[in-house]
């Protein structure tokens, strides 16, 4: 599965911050069953590399699984060793981007300014994560898209909810990273599955309304 295929099917990245290995597969299956096929386990979760390895094995061929909050090249190496397919960061670090690509993974670094966006693309980023999205309105997205290469995929992360999805989609974003509206420690797979399904329905409704 490619990044374009996953985003075309459903432009949501499930951010599973705080995920425990004992629940990883059940939560992952619930998310994928709802229609989301990009899953991120932030590295400030308990034993994240074990969770990534379990999800990558269980969801092989059905989802792209990787890590978030990746801040060092050493962490990028460990994601690759765990079988991860993507590396997501809150910042733009060209060294991490280049190591991610050297390890054959997808790179989705975070940025907030045009300078960071162009630096990330020059280092080889596959898509850009605008973070935190609370600091950038849909009007900012339109301004960025006017200067970035046309094929650039922009995802927004931070404060994304069913209510904020339509205006961002209309502005031309390629996807959304959604965390606490989807998963928080203590929520079981059934609860997460229902939340995932509601978010998927909101995205589909917004896409249909924009046609």
User: In angstroms, rounded to a whole number, what is the distance separating the alpha carbons of residues 44 and 93?
Assistant: 18
> Is residue 57 over pLDDT 90?
yes
Bridge partner list, 8: none
User: In angstroms, rounded to a whole number, what is the distance separating the alpha carbons of residues 30 and 111?
Assistant: 30
Bridge partner list, 67: 41, 87
Residue of 29, 40, 101, 207 with catalytic role: 40
What pLDDT, on a 0 to 100 scale, did the predictor assign at position 209? Answer: 84
86: pLDDT confidence band, cut at 50, 70 and 90? very high
User: In angstroms, rounded to a whole number, what is the distance separating the alpha carbons of residues 28 and 71?
Assistant: 24
Structure tokens at 13: 């990245």
User: If DSSP codes are grouped into helix, strand and coil, which group holds residue 202?
Assistant: helix
Q: pTM for this structure?
A: 0.96
Task: Report the number of secondary-structure helices (H) and strands (E) in the chain.
Answer: 9, 9
Residues in contact with 91: Cβ distance below 8 Å, sequence separation at least 6, in sequence order: 71, 109, 110, 111, 116
Structure tokens at 8: 């075309």
User: In angstroms, rounded to a whole number, what is the distance separating the alpha carbons of residues 27 and 207?
Assistant: 26
Question: Is 101 a residue of the active site?
Answer: no
106: pLDDT confidence band, cut at 50, 70 and 90? very high
Residue 71, classified by CB atoms within 10 Å of its CB into exposed (0-12), middle (13-18) or buried (19+), is: middle
Residue of 23, 129, 184, 207 with catalytic role: 129
Question: Is 129 a residue of the active site?
Answer: yes
> Is residue 115 over pLDDT 80?
yes
Residues in contact with 57: Cβ distance below 8 Å, sequence separation at least 6, in sequence order: 83
Residue 55, classified by CB atoms within 10 Å of its CB into exposed (0-12), middle (13-18) or buried (19+), is: buried
Residue 32, classified by CB atoms within 10 Å of its CB into exposed (0-12), middle (13-18) or buried (19+), is: buried
Residues in contact with 173: Cβ distance below 8 Å, sequence separation at least 6, in sequence order: 11, 130, 141, 154, 155, 156
Please, what is the average pLDDT of the chain? 96
What pLDDT, on a 0 to 100 scale, did the predictor assign at position 160? Answer: 86
């Amino acid at each position: 599965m490619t990044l374009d295929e996953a985003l075309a099917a459903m432009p949501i990245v499930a951010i599973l911050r705080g995920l425990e290995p004992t629940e990883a597969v059940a939560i992952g299956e619930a998310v994928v069953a709802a229609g989301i096929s990009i899953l991120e386990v932030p590295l400030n979760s308990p034993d994240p590399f074990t969770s990534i390895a379990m999800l990558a094995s269980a969801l092989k061929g059905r989802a792209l699984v990787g890590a978030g909050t990746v801040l060092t090249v050493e962490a990028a190496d460990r994601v690759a060793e765990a079988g991860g397919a993507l590396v997501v960061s809150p910042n733009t670090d060209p060294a991490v981007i280049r190591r991610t690509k050297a390890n054959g993974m997808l790179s989705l670094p975070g940025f907030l300014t045009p300078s960071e966006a162009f630096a990330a693309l020059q280092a080889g980023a596959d898509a850009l994560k605008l973070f935190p999205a609370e600091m950038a309105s849909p009007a900012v997205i339109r301004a960025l898209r006017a200067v970035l290469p046309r094929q650039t995929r922009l995802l927004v992360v931070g404060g994304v909810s069913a209510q904020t999805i339509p205006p961002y989609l209309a502005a031309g974003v390629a996807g959304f990273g959604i965390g606490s509206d989807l998963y928080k420690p203590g929520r079981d797979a059934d609860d997460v599955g229902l939340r995932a399904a509601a978010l998927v329905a909101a995205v589909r409704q917004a896409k249909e309304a924009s046609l």
